[in-house]
Amino acid sequence: MSRTETTQAPVDEAIDDEEFDPVGTLALIAVYFAILVLAWVYIYYIEFLGRDLVVVG
Amino acid sequence: MHIHAYEKLWLAAAIALILLLIGSVTYGAVGPGVAMVTDSENQIDAGGLDEDERFSEPRVEQVGENHYEAYVVAYQFAFDPSPIVVPEDSRVTLYVTSRDVVHGFEVVGTNANTMVVPGEVAQISFEVDEPGEYGVVCNEYCGAAHHTMEGKLHVVSQSEFENRGEDA
């Protein structure tokens, strides 16, 4: 097995995750999440439970 | 282990979403009482429905003060009885079976929907309120005239229900 030089390289000090704030990614995920929750609420509570003749037995 | 604050946030959100999904289905079962079609009914002889107590004469029967049972036979290419006539504001339990091939039984636009398998009895219960007419379709391909296979479910007023024999 050969060892590459990169494994020996020191960790890049520049990447400090406290300064790494992917606000755009967070916003995108928040939007996806909101769509998912709204879609579920619509599908289950309005389309499914809101229909006639809910099977109860 | 260090986890970034944003990552904690969406881990928590994902767990909350899972709880919402499981919680909704639990609510559906406990609150409105949503139930599944089960295999609780005994198997019957699909070729011998003529001698079956329930299915030799497909019909609607009153079994409780406000509870009606309908014994329905599906066959190529119709449902019997059709229309299924039940009174308003009652609980209806359908027992549906097939005498030939696999059919479907779907009250159009509603949640009353089950497969109809020869030799098996599908049991579904639901509440009906206002008088109205529903269509019933077969939603499992069952042969050349599958697309014409339909039935009717009529919800009528109490007085109309009591007088239904006179019109027939």
The CATH classification of domain B46-167, taken from the options 3.90.870.10, 1.10.150.120, 1.10.286.10, 2.60.40.420: 2.60.40.420
- Interface contact A57, partner B, CB < 8 A: yes
Q: Which residues in chain B are contacts of A15 at CB distance < 8 A?
A: none
- Interface contact B107, partner A, CB < 8 A: yes
Residue A33 forms part of a structural domain: yes
Three-state secondary-structure class, residue B125: strand
- Looking at chain B, which runs of residues are DSSP E strands? 59-64, 67-75, 78-80, 84-87, 90-98, 103-107, 113-116, 122-128, 132-137, 150-156
**What are the backbone angles phi and psi of residue B102, rounded to the nearest 5°?**
-70, 130
Number of domains in chain A: 1
Taking 60 as the threshold, does the pLDDT of residue B5 lie above it?
yes
Residue B38 to residues A25, A48, B49, B63, B123: CA-CA distances in angstroms? 45, 19, 21, 21, 7
pTM of the prediction?
0.81
Taking 70 as the threshold, does the pLDDT of residue A10 lie above it?
no
Q: What share of chain B is helix, strand, coil (3-state, %, to 5)?
A: 25, 35, 35
Are A26 and B124 an interchain contact pair (Cβ–Cβ within 8 Å)?
no
**Residue in A29, A37, A54 closest to B34 by CB:** A54
Q: In what order do the strands lie in the sheet with B150-156?
A: B84-87, B150-156, B132-137, B103-107, B113-116
> Mean pLDDT score of chain B, rounded to an integer?
92
Q: Which residues in chain B are contacts of A52 at CB distance < 8 A?
A: 107, 109-111, 134
Residue A2 forms part of a structural domain: no
Contact status, residue B72 vs residue B79, Cβ threshold 8 Å: yes
- Interface contact A14, partner B, CB < 8 A: no
Are B93 and A57 an interchain contact pair (Cβ–Cβ within 8 Å)?
yes
Give the pLDDT confidence of B78-122 residue by residue, as tens digits: 999 999 999 999 999 999 999 999 999 999 999 999 999 999 999
Q: Residue A3 half-sphere exposure, CB side, CA atoms within 13 Å?
A: 4
Taking 90 as the threshold, does the pLDDT of residue A44 lie above it?
yes
**Residue in B10, B28, B111 closest to A53 by CB:** B111
Restricting to B residues 80-99, those with a Cβ less than 8 Å away from any Cβ of A are 93
Give residue A44's domain range: 22-52
- Interface contact B20, partner A, CB < 8 A: yes
Question: What is the model's pLDDT at position B38?
Answer: 86
Taking 70 as the threshold, does the pLDDT of residue B168 lie above it?
no
CA distance B73 to B140: 15
Q: Quote the ipTM score.
A: 0.76
Q: Which residues in chain A are contacts of B28 at CB distance < 8 A?
A: 44, 48-49
Locate B98 and state its tokens.
């097939």
Residue A31 forms part of a structural domain: yes
Residue A45 forms part of a structural domain: yes
Are B35 and A56 an interchain contact pair (Cβ–Cβ within 8 Å)?
yes
**Residue in B13, B17, B34 closest to A55 by CB:** B34
